[in-house]
């Protein structure tokens, strides 16, 4: 029996990055939803927690730190692993402070992104 495609929520205020990540994940067989604001993404997490969140740290209105703080307060979503995406410095420090499963520096290689997603999900990449 085939395993269901993993649900991944992508949060990034840059529409080009959001579109490419979402399109690549869907092309790889994942169910990906993209959100340009952390507020919209948090509302989506409340309604249907994904299996993984790819989270940009630097966003207007609500940044990645606040999103993560609120996510951890949700009983239904506190277990959902987060992969940080950031062009800012000190990514390893932020990774540890936020309890992220992994982090990826921007700009990134799409192959590396897909490998990280598969590793965090504990699965082989979809065929």
Question: What average pLDDT does this structure show over 39-43?
Answer: 97
Q: Residue 114 contacts by C-beta under 8 Å, 6 or more apart in sequence?
A: 24, 25, 28, 125
pLDDT value for 2: 44
Cis peptide before 107 (omega within 30 of 0): yes
How does the average pLDDT of the chain come out, rounded? Answer: 91
Q: Helix (H, G, I), strand (E, B), or coil: what is residue 117?
A: helix
pLDDT at 1: 38
Q: What pLDDT was estimated at residue 94?
A: 82
Q: In which band, very low, low, confident or very high, does the pLDDT at 4 lie, cut at 50, 70 and 90?
A: low
Could you tell me how far CA 28 lies from the centroid of its own chain? Answer: 15
In the chain, what percentage of residues exceed pLDDT 90?
Answer: 77
Residue 84, judged by CB atoms within 10 A of its CB (0-12, 13-18, 19+), counts as buried
CATH 1.20.1060.10 assigned to 7-121: no
Contact 55, 104 (CB under 8 A): no
Say yes or no to pLDDT of 14 above 50. yes
Extents of the domains making up the chain: 7-121
pLDDT in tens, 55-97: 999 888 899 999 999 999 999 999 999 999 988 778 788 888 8
Cβ atoms of 17 and 2 closer than 8 Å: no
Q: Give the DSSP H or E segment for 2.
A: none
Tokens 């504990």 label which residue?
122
What is the rounded average pLDDT of the residues 86-114?
Answer: 88
């Amino acid at each position: 029996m085939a395993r269901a495609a993993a649900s991944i929520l992508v949060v990034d205020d840059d529409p080009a990055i959001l579109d490419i990540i979402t399109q690549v994940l869907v092309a790889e067989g994942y169910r990906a939803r993209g959100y340009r604001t952390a507020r919209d993404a948090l509302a989506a997490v409340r309604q249907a927690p994904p299996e993984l969140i790819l989270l940009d740290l630097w966003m207007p209105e609500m940044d990645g730190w606040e999103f993560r703080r609120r996510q951890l307060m949700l009983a239904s979503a506190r277990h959902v692993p987060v992969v940080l995406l950031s062009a800012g410095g000190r990514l390893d420090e932020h990774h540890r402070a936020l309890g992220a499963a992994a982090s990826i520096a921007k700009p990134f290689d799409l192959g590396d992104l897909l490998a990280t997603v598969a590793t965090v999900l504990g699965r082989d990449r979809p065929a």
